[in-house]
Structure 1
Amino acid sequence: MQVYFLGTGTSQGIPVIGSHHPVCMSEDVKDKRLRVSVWITFEEASVVIDCGPDFRQQMLTSGCEKLDAILFTHEHADHTAGLDDIRPFFFRQKKDIPIYAHHRVLENFKKRFDYIFETENKYPGAPGVEIFEVKNNTDFTIGQAKITPINVNHGNLQVFGYRIQDFVYLTDVKTVEATEIEKMKGLKVLVVNALREEPHHTHFNLQEALDFIHLVQPERAYLTHISHLLGFHEEVQKKLPPNVFLAYDNLKITI
């Protein structure tokens, strides 16, 4: 399995528009972060988790030419606003693109992207999607691989993370029930959000993320959904435990 970090930034990305914060002014490429997403390849499958407003740019940069499915964590714009940009994959592959999401998220899409979900007199330039509802405690498969939804909380909002083989991806997490932590036993790699050092009401801060990693005990962990307020990449990395890494855009890891 290969994991490609398409974006590792928070909802505004880094640099933030109009900001003169030192991290936003950094010339280090690792301090420049698009909105959060990953591209995962396993067996013959090519899957993206979340499809934010930087999706087109991320696909061009990564060289991704095949899209077998999109798994959505939740409906916020920084995770979903790029849905229209799946059109090239739809036109090339000549079949609907499977999308997996909570029922609430699918209903949200039908309002925001109504032209994609039209069944009559559909605009011919719109992409086609095949809808799959994700339910907690209900595994599903893509190819031969089992996908396990991980139910977590983004403040008061339900969010799904996903386990694929020995890899778990979580973002926009603030609290996790013990029953969901049990689903993460024996991991080789955990990806989890760490917004900043100061507490936040809907996201793990750095210490909360490190405490959660210690609880789950993966072999390796990568931090994502990072704000400029966390600090410079190289300085933050020096403070982390030996098996915890600050992810950055276009990082590729093999599991």
Structure 2
Amino acid sequence: MRITFLGTGTSSGVPIIGCTCPVCRSLDYRDQRLRVSVHIAVAGRSLVVDTGPDFRQQMLRARISQLDAILFTHEHKDHTAGLDDVRAFNFRQQQEIPVYAEPRVIEQLKREFAYIFAEHKYPGVPQVRLHPIEDEQQPFEVLGLTVQPLRAMHHRLPVLGFRLDNFAYLTDANLLPDSTMAQLRGADTIVLNALRHEPHLSHFTLSEAIGILEELRPRRAYLTHISHQLGRHREVEATLPPWIRLAYDGLAIDV
């Protein structure tokens, strides 16, 4: 299984429009962060988790020419706004793209992309097939792959992460229930969000994320959904245990 980090930034991306802080002015490519998303390639299949506003750019940059399914963590715009650009894959593959999300998220997609789901569709709109994730505790199958949903809380909003085999991905969270911690145990590679150093209403801080990872103790871990407030990549990563790394856009790992 190959994991490619398509985007590792927070909702505004890094650099932030108009900001002149050292991170936003950094020339280090690892400090250039598009909105958070990840690509999973396994057994000839190609999946993405979330289609944020940078989706088109991410697909072009990673040279992804096949898309077989989309998993959505939740309905916030920085995770869904690029859904229209799946049209390119519809044209190439001549088939619908399966989309997996909780019923609440599906209803939001239907409102925000009403033209996709209209009874009388305009020619050329995206073609997707909706699959509701009804039970957060039950694994489900995507293209022959077993996916375990992982419940997390994003302030008061329930969101999902996903575990495929020994790889687990969680973003936009500030609380993991005991049941999720149990589901994460034994994972070889865990990706977890770490927004900044200061406390935040709906995201883990760096120290909170490290604390969770130290309790779970996977073989390796990567931090994502990073804001410019966390600091420059090379400086922050130098403070981390060797088995915890900051993810960056374009990083590819085999798990």
TM-score if structure 1 supplies the norm length?
0.98
User: Which residue identity lines up with residue 250 of structure 1 in the other structure?
Assistant: G
Distance 1:177 1:150 in 2: 9
> How many angstroms does 1:84 deviate by?
0.2
Contact 1:162 1:168 in 2 (8 A): yes
Contact 1:52 1:80 in 2 (8 A): yes
Partner of 2:79: 79
User: SS of the counterpart of 1:137?
Assistant: coil
User: Which residue identity lines up with residue 137 of structure 1 in the other structure?
Assistant: Q
User: SS of the counterpart of 1:98?
Assistant: strand
Kindly, what percent of the aligned residue pairs are identical? 51
Partner of 2:229: 229
What 5-or-longer segments of structure 1 have no aligned partner?
Answer: none
Partner of 1:131: 130
Partner of 1:117: 117
Deviations 1:80-137 (A, max 9, x none): 000001100011111110000011000001100001112x221111011100111311
User: SS of the counterpart of 2:179?
Assistant: helix
Partner of 1:201: 201
Distance 1:201 1:215 in 2: 22
> How many angstroms does 1:141 deviate by?
1.2
Partner of 1:142: 142
Given the alignment of the two structures, is residue 220 of structure 1 paired with residue 205 of structure 2, yes or no?
Answer: no
User: SS of the counterpart of 1:147?
Assistant: strand
Contact 1:45 1:142 in 2 (8 A): no
Contact 1:137 1:149 in 2 (8 A): yes
Partner of 2:167: 167
Distance 1:184 1:224 in 2: 17
> How many angstroms does 1:144 deviate by?
2.7
Distance 1:215 1:34 in 2: 29
Partner of 2:24: 24
User: SS of the counterpart of 1:223?
Assistant: strand
Distance 1:138 1:82 in 2: 28
User: Which residue identity lines up with residue 158 of structure 1 in the other structure?
Assistant: P
Contact 1:44 1:143 in 2 (8 A): no
Instruction: Could you list the structure 1 runs, at least 4 aligned residues long, displaced by more than 2 angstroms after superposition.
Output: none
Partner of 1:50: 50
> How many angstroms does 1:4 deviate by?
0.2
Distance 1:124 1:218 in 2: 48
Deviations 1:180-237 (A, max 9, x none): 1111121110000000011101000000000010122111000000000000000000
Partner of 2:244: 244
Distance 1:143 1:56 in 2: 23
TM alignment of 1:176-191, pairs within 5 A: 176-191=176-191
Distance 1:31 1:225 in 2: 12
User: Which residue identity lines up with residue 40 of structure 2 in the other structure?
Assistant: I
Contact 1:195 1:230 in 2 (8 A): yes
Distance 2:67 2:234 in 1: 33
Distance 1:153 1:209 in 2: 14
User: Which residue identity lines up with residue 140 of structure 1 in the other structure?
Assistant: F
Distance 2:175 2:254 in 1: 28
Partner of 1:155: 155
> How many residues matched?
254
Contact 1:150 1:183 in 2 (8 A): yes
> How many angstroms does 1:161 deviate by?
0.2
User: SS of the counterpart of 1:107?
Assistant: helix
Distance 2:226 2:71 in 1: 20
RMSD, aligned CA: 0.7
> How many angstroms does 1:139 deviate by?
1.1
User: SS of the counterpart of 1:126?
Assistant: coil
User: SS of the counterpart of 1:99?
Assistant: strand
Distance 2:107 2:142 in 1: 22
